[in-house]
């Protein structure tokens, strides 16, 4: 038991006690689902084993209340530094068993002692996924402003500063055991004519080549596109076409990262995923959901069928025996929920979509597709999607020593109230929103 906590949600003892109350119901539900799947010639145990191996990285910035462009309403007990962010990430991981790594964001997560940070993570059972650079905000100590861009700025000095920051991110990542750098820039224009569209892209390629040259041999560069925001007329890396061109120009260690919220409403994201798999450049995901033009909502909260269709492409590619190992990361912003609860919920939504994708009868689907039976083809997907796989997810968690019902267990632990006593309330902000 960690000192101060009424019940530490990270302790095996606490989780075992919480699980005792849920175990009998789970046994019954799992047996019923297992029988149903057996009639469909699906072995529930193999699905449960694969779900148990599923992992998604947590965004370090996701454990605080994010805020919007308009305001930030901090909650009690938010983490005050990167060490406390890891403490919260460990809660998510211990309760869900699905989030063993953290994706850091620099300079937000800068510290004087990365050795101590790595040791802290190891002690909490966490590792580090891709490092994210930040050249979309000015920092107090920096010489050049990013107001008019970073890697694509017209001034060489600004571009050099942005390149140097990315190289620093790689160095930090090496100290922590990361293997990838995620590159997202907000560069672009708010007015037609403000920026020479072609030259801005050329400057991007030139700057990114310097970063690429600094990648260790076993690292990957993940290029993230975003349609708009903060540039509202034209963003330099605005879509997967620009991202793919950049990756192909830079070399074999450069890949495209798909943030689900970075597309126009109604865009067929699973098709983008299929194309990137085809060309061998799908590097990873930032999972979240959106209704309009944001990238902030919890994964699966708006359109779980789209999330399922994305996983359907991934599972299909694995079924066709293509080597595929995209990075899975969450990237969302929490304004009205406890961030730990939202992150747990999103991690479980991804597992749900993944598990459902494993239930698709792919032989039957291929037959319907080849025979042009559109209705049966789509019903084959729907049948998998509408199967309630919750008992599979819960059983996978139980077997890993995680919680059968993570959100209930978390609430029972009183973790947030205890953090509130220790950490207090972070500064709010009446002068604008927080960027996450």
The beta-strand segments (E) located in 30-163 are 58-59, 101-103, 127-128, 131-132
- Which residue's CB is nearer to Mn ion, number 52 or number 59? 59
- Which residue's CB is nearer to ligand PSV, number 34 or number 66? 66
Residue 334, token pair as written in the block: 């929490």
Per CB under 5 A, 129 contacts Mn ion? no
Binding window for Mn ion (CB under 5 A); candidates: 7-15, 255-263, 267-275, 378-386: 255-263
- Which residue's CB is nearer to ligand PSV, number 94 or number 226? 226
At 171 the three-state DSSP class reads helix
Q: What residue 243 binds from ligand PSV, Mn ion, none (CB within 5 to 8 A, per partner kind)?
A: none
> What mask of x and - would describe binding to Mn ion in positions 269 to 288, judged by CB under 5 A?
-----------------x--
Q: What residue 86 binds from Mn ion, ligand PSV, none (CB within 5 to 8 A, per partner kind)?
A: none
> 332: which DSSP letter?
-
As a whole number of angstroms, the distance between CA 332 and CA 295 comes to 7
- Which residue's CB is nearer to ligand PSV, number 288 or number 405? 288
Q: What residue 88 binds from Mn ion, ligand PSV, none (CB within 5 to 8 A, per partner kind)?
A: none
Q: What residue 132 binds from ligand PSV, Mn ion, none (CB within 5 to 8 A, per partner kind)?
A: ligand PSV
> 431: which DSSP letter?
S
As a whole number of angstroms, the distance between CA 196 and CA 192 comes to 9
Per CB under 5 A, 296 contacts Mn ion? no
Residue 165, token pair as written in the block: 């920051």
> What mask of x and - would describe binding to Mn ion in positions 327 to 366, judged by CB under 5 A?
----x-----------------------------------
Q: What residue 435 binds from ligand PSV, Mn ion, none (CB within 5 to 8 A, per partner kind)?
A: ligand PSV
As a whole number of angstroms, the distance between CA 367 and CA 348 comes to 31
Q: What residue 436 binds from Mn ion, ligand PSV, none (CB within 5 to 8 A, per partner kind)?
A: ligand PSV
- Which residue's CB is nearer to ligand PSV, number 26 or number 130? 130
Q: How many residues bind Mn ion (CB under 5 A)?
A: 3
- Which residue's CB is nearer to ligand PSV, number 226 or number 281? 226
Per CB under 5 A, 259 contacts Mn ion? yes
Neighbours of 55 (CB within 10 A): 18
Q: Is the dihedral of CA 159, 165, 168, 173 positive or negative?
A: negative
Angle 4-10-13 (CA atoms, 0-180°, nearest 5)? 90
Neighbours of 165 (CB within 10 A): 20
As a whole number of angstroms, the distance between CA 385 and CA 358 comes to 10
- Which residue's CB is nearer to ligand PSV, number 142 or number 400? 142
93 and 366 Cβ atoms separated by less than 8 Å: no
Q: What residue 90 binds from Mn ion, ligand PSV, none (CB within 5 to 8 A, per partner kind)?
A: none
Contact residues for 230 (Cβ-Cβ < 8 A; gap 6+)? 136, 186, 188
- Which residue's CB is nearer to Mn ion, number 298 or number 331? 331
Cis peptide before 188 (omega within 30 of 0): no
DSSP string, 176-207: HT--EEEE----EESSTTSS-HHHHHHHHHHH
Q: Is the dihedral of CA 190, 265, 299, 58 positive or negative?
A: negative
> Nearest distance from residue 132's CB to ligand PSV, in Å?
5
As a whole number of angstroms, the distance between CA 351 and CA 93 comes to 14
The footprint of ligand PSV (CB under 6 A) covers 61, 132, 184, 224, 226, 259, 286, 295, 331, 435-436
- Which residue's CB is nearer to Mn ion, number 208 or number 327? 327
> Nearest distance from residue 150's CB to ligand PSV, in Å?
13
- Which residue's CB is nearer to Mn ion, number 77 or number 283? 283
> Nearest distance from residue 68's CB to ligand PSV, in Å?
12
Residue nearest to ligand PSV (CB): 184
Q: What residue 204 binds from ligand PSV, Mn ion, none (CB within 5 to 8 A, per partner kind)?
A: none
Which residue, 248, 250, 254, 249, is CA-closest to 224?
254
- Which residue's CB is nearer to ligand PSV, number 133 or number 380? 133
Whole-angstrom CA distances from 430 to 71, 80, 197, 226, 426 are: 7, 19, 36, 27, 13
Residue 33, token pair as written in the block: 């689902």
> Nearest distance from residue 52's CB to Mn ion, in Å?
27
CA 266 to chain centroid, in Å, comes to 21
Q: What residue 226 binds from Mn ion, ligand PSV, none (CB within 5 to 8 A, per partner kind)?
A: ligand PSV
> Nearest distance from residue 312's CB to ligand PSV, in Å?
23
Q: Which residues bind Mn ion (CB under 5 A)?
A: 259, 286, 331
């Amino acid at each position: 038991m960690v000192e101060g906590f009424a019940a530490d949600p990270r302790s095996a003892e606490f989780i075992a006690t919480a699980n005792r109350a849920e175990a009998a119901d789970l046994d019954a539900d799992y047996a019923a689902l297992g029988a149903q799947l057996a009639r469909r010639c699906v072995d529930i145990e193999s699905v449960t084993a694969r779900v148990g191996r599923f992992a998604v990285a947590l965004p370090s910035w996701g454990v605080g209340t994010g805020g919007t462009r308009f305001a930030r309403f901090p909650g009690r007990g938010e983490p005050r530094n990167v060490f406390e962010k890891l403490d919260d990430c460990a809660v998510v991981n211990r309760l869900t068993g699905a989030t063993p790594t953290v994706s850091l964001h620099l300079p937000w997560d800068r510290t004087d002692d990365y050795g101590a940070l790595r040791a802290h993570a190891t002690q909490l059972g966490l590792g580090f996924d891709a490092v994210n650079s930040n050249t979309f905000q000015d920092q107090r100590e920096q010489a050049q402003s990013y107001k008019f861009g970073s890697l694509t700025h017209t001034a060489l000095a600004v571009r050099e500063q942005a390149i140097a920051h990315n190289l620093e991110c790689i160095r930090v990542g090496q100290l922590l055991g990361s293997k990838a750098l995620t590159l997202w820039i907000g560069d672009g224009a708010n007015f037609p004519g403000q920026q020479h569209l072609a030259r801005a892209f050329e400057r991007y390629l030139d700057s990114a080549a310097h970063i690429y040259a600094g990648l260790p041999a076993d690292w990957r560069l993940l290029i993230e596109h975003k349609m708009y925001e903060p540039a509202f007329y034209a963003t330099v890396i605005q879509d997967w076409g620009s991202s793919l061109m950049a990756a192909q120009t830079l070399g074999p260690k450069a890949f495209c990262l798909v943030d689900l919220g970075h597309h126009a409403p109604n865009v067929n994201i699973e098709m983008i995923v299929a194309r990137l798999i085809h060309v061998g450049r799908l590097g990873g995901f930032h999972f979240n959901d959106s209704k309009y033009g944001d990238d902030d909502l919890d994964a699966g909260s708006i359109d779980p069928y789209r999330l399922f269709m994305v996983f359907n492409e991934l599972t299909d590619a694995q079924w066709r025996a293509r080597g595929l190992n995209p990075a899975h990361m969450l990237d969302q912003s929490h304004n009205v929920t406890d961030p730990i609860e939202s992150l747990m919920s999103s991690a479980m939504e991804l597992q749900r979509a993944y598990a459902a994708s494993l239930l698709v009868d792919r032989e039957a689907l291929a037959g319907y597709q080849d025979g042009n039976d559109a209705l049966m083809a789509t019903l084959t997907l729907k049948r998998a999607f509408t199967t309630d796989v919750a008992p599979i997810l819960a059983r996978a968690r139980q077997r890993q020593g995680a919680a059968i019902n993570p959100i209930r267990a978390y609430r029972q632990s009183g973790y947030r109230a205890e953090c509130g006593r220790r950490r207090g309330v972070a500064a709010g902000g009446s002068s604008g929103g927080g960027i996450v």
